[in-house]
Amino acid sequence: MSKPVAMITGASRGIGKAIALHLAKRGYDLIITCRRSINELELVAEQVRNLDARCLEVPLDASDFEACKDFFTYILPKNYRHVDLLVNNAGVAYLGLLTDMSHKEWQQVIATNLDSLFNTCKFTVPMMVSQKSGNIINISSIWGNDGASCEVAYSASKGGVNSFTKALAKELAPSGIRVNAIACGAIDTEMNQWMTEEDRQSLTDEIGLGRLGKPEEIAKLVTFIASPEASYLTGQIITADGGM
């Protein structure tokens, strides 16, 4: 019996890497992608194979429609027949005043965080529809719910991710495909390495559980959402923020 196949974007580090390794432990074969950190992606792929899982690592800009089209048309079919779980994790942040942000920077955030979902779903959904099953999990943010000062573009893009998730869930439910999102709070990844110790403590003080989340905790939540135990769960934005 063949293993289920999961595709994870932005899998070279942080949350994406944790998801890849946890899914490999749970019996998935993997497709992992990233835009720039190719060496790190290859190291993740090696770790996945050490867990007795197949792994196809691909340098792919998920925000580039033509690149995604080429991947799903020419590369994927040579390696896998289907994708059972799609985890849209690729993301980028911008910290600063809106008036200081260039139009190019705005476009990059929106493309990376939101356009990428259209691109991957555009080509993955037909495979899932044909097999009448599948899971799509989008990694979002609490700032997509509430908005954050000095993170207007990021908040807007993640708000879009949340609405995208709810709408697509309704569209695909009759085909047996579930679509959900995880609105992450402050997770201890490279994305937060810019903070000073004072900034980090101030942020921690706002969290009910008194600590930042771990990438592995998000990975475990992804695995649960994709499991049969969560078979009635779709169209949900599940907040994982430690009581922030």
Catalytic residue IDs: 154
DSSP assignment of 173-202, as one string? GGGTEEEEEEEE-SB-SGGGTT--HHHHHH
Reported as type and span, the H/E element at residue 134 is strand 134-141
- Centre a 10 Å sphere on the Cβ of residue 207 and count the other Cβ atoms it contains: 16
- Specify the 3-state DSSP secondary structure of 34: strand
State how far the alpha carbon of 219 is from the alpha carbons of 20, 87, 105, 215, in Å.
8, 10, 29, 6
The alpha carbon dihedral of 31, 142, 191, 150 has a sign of positive
Distance spanning both ends of the chain, measured CA to CA: 43
